[in-house]
Structure 1
Amino acid sequence: MKRSAPKQQSKAPSPGLDQLLQRDDIWRGHSQRFSNRESVDTGFPLLNQYLLNTGWPCNSLIELCQASAGSGDWLLFSPAMKTLLTEHRGHAVLLNPPSLPFAQGLMQAGIPLQQLLVVHTTNKADFVVSFVELARASCCSLLLAWQPKQALTYTELRKCQLACSDNNGLYCIFRPLQVQQQSSPAALRLKVALSQNALDVFILKQQGQLRSQAETPIQLALPQQWQALQAHRKLGDDDLLSPAAANDQAFTHYQPRQNILSMGLRTQNGKKIKLKRHY
């Protein structure tokens, strides 16, 4: 008996290049697909012009690098927090804030305190788990997280980014300035620096845009309440006075009385005598 030749299994045709480029996980440099995402108004018209969605991108991770806490985090996201909590139901969650926010200042900015939650974690593992669970919660409209003392790895940031894509809120993580040279899966990376009259914003990375604004800052004017305050002199100023030098200038006409112990010897009948101490 002759054996029949084995039938050749028909292989499915491989997808063409056009089909591959339609995948959501493949991004082309000149694609406008990311410019149609939902966004939240930043509250700064000048900053909106530089963002592809004319606002903060939703369902994606935003990373903000700053020298220290309070260098622009609240100033940048207070308008968006007010918009989300007043126009939409939900809560704003602060994960590991360096200090408790000033309640009267938030009320003055129009932020409802009853929709604000604060979560603290003790280690990096709990921080990542908390970020992922909060980002996936439908009741969390805004998540502001401050990186713990332990540096986050790319894998941990990737977990946070994937969790942000599961929901339609606004999610931001604040990191130290030293990590700006490291790779990050965040869809939008910013660097901020607070100057005397403005808040300088640098766009390090923006998904859907090849060219960054890392060299030219976007100068956002400070609120009028901030401009009315007198700025403190920085430690690097040349005219900064030490406490001793400041006292010397403040009391230039002050001449203390001569101490009797500094007079040395006295004379009596032409003879020098030593001073005696009386106790």
Structure 2
Amino acid sequence: MKTPPTQPKPPTLEQLLQRSDIWRGQGQRSKARNVVDSGHPELNRQLLDQGWPTASLIEICQPAAGHGDWLLFTPALKACLQAQQYAILLNPPALPFAQGLKQNDIPVEQLLIVRARNKTDFISSFIELARARSCGLVLAWQPQQALSYSELRKCQLATSDGQGLYILFRSSQAIQQSSPAALRLIAALDKQTLNVTLLKQRGQLRQQSKPLGLPLSKHWRPQPPHRLLGGKPRNSAPSAANDWLLTSYQPRQNILSIPAGKQAKLKRQYS
């Protein structure tokens, strides 16, 4: 007579509380996670474990595309590429400038761009990329169609199967929407700083009260108009950016003087 197979014992409450994806909501998580240095010391002090969490969904809400995308993640991108992994740009709003990437010592041969035609393809692409072991970093820009909580949950579950950094850029209109992301931030560029506000951080109950201003390096700051680059503008009009570099043009004046006799002859010829 065969004995029935023994069923495994269910985990105890203490065993469940030791899981990395369980948070009791009473304070900061004590178990350390794998992170990647953000490259910004001020931001590291606000993040748990002093860096970007790996194997998690990081959500960045922006007023528009370009508010801190590369500024926030260029140091982490370099670290991932040094490990001989690929960085994937999923639906980037613009084609990256190769010369600018090379000037920042980013190997363009390890950057791949993926274009998804619709929201369904976007979610499928994100899930497959997050599970790929060769992808160390995924930068994804949400399509025009809004993502629901269940769709974001699928992306979050896929990131838990990977080991890299997975960032989703969304519009600031999504701030009011619930999200399963482990880390949510607001990023907005100013003239001199990149203002970062922590909305949610798994393992921490307290939220950031005011934005954190990350100073911009000189080459990230907006440049003045061309007419102001050389100092005080000369004979400049507000509507012209480089008019002071050109010879003054006055269409109602003759550049060469015409003798009086020749003027009379021309007047008789064309009158």
TM-score by length of 2: 0.77
The AA in structure 2 aligned to 1:41 is: D
Distance 1:34 1:100, change over 3 A: farther
Residue 223 of structure 2 aligns with which residue? 230
Shift of 1:31: 5.5
The AA in structure 1 aligned to 2:53 is: P
Query: SS at 1:63's partner residue?
Result: strand
Range 18-27 or range 114-123, more displaced: 18-27
The 2-side partners of 1:30 and 1:110 are apart by 43
Query: SS at 1:93's partner residue?
Result: strand
Please say if residues 34 and 207 of structure 1, whose CA atoms lie closer than 8 Å, have aligned partners that are also in contact.
Answer: no
TM-score by length of 1: 0.75
Shift of 1:55: 0.7
The 1-side partners of 2:152 and 2:30 are apart by 20
Q: How does 1:138-217 map to 2 (within 5 A)?
A: 138-213=133-208, 215-217=209-211
Query: SS at 1:192's partner residue?
Result: strand
Range 67-76 or range 140-149, more displaced: 67-76
Shift of 1:89: 1.7
The 2-side partners of 1:231 and 1:212 are apart by 36
The 1-side partners of 2:30 and 2:125 are apart by 27
The 2-side partners of 1:155 and 1:231 are apart by 45
Distance 1:72 1:14, change over 3 A: closer
1:126 aligns with 2:131: no
Query: SS at 1:184's partner residue?
Result: coil
Please say if residues 40 and 57 of structure 1, whose CA atoms lie closer than 8 Å, have aligned partners that are also in contact.
Answer: yes
The 2-side partners of 1:24 and 1:226 are apart by 38
Distance 1:48 1:119, change over 3 A: same
Shift of 1:19: 4.4
Distance 1:64 1:231, change over 3 A: farther
Shift of 1:27: 1.3
Residue 231 of structure 2 aligns with which residue? none
1:51 aligns with 2:35: no
Shift of 1:84: 1.0
Offset from partner CA, 1:73-101 (integer Å, 9 cap, x none): 11101111011102x12100000001100
Please say if residues 86 and 136 of structure 2, whose CA atoms lie closer than 8 Å, have aligned partners that are also in contact.
Answer: yes
Offset from partner CA, 1:154-208 (integer Å, 9 cap, x none): 0000000000000110000000010011100000000011001000000000000
Q: Please report the RMSD computed on the Cα atoms of aligned residues, expressed in angstroms.
A: 2.9
Please say if residues 27 and 205 of structure 2, whose CA atoms lie closer than 8 Å, have aligned partners that are also in contact.
Answer: no
Distance 1:139 1:15, change over 3 A: closer
**Which of the pair has more CA radius of gyration?**
1
Moved over 2 A (4+): 12-26, 30-35, 229-232, 244-247, 254-257
The 2-side partners of 1:35 and 1:195 are apart by 36
Residue 78 of structure 2 aligns with which residue? 82
Shift of 1:29: 1.8
Please say if residues 196 and 231 of structure 1, whose CA atoms lie closer than 8 Å, have aligned partners that are also in contact.
Answer: no
Please say if residues 42 and 56 of structure 1, whose CA atoms lie closer than 8 Å, have aligned partners that are also in contact.
Answer: yes
Query: SS at 2:61's partner residue?
Result: strand
Shift of 1:15: 6.7
Partner of residue 28 from structure 1, selected from 9, 24, 29: 24
The AA in structure 2 aligned to 1:103 is: A
* Count of residues in correspondence between the two structures: 231
Query: SS at 2:210's partner residue?
Result: strand
Structure 1 residue ranges without an equivalent (≥5): 1-11, 233-243, 258-279
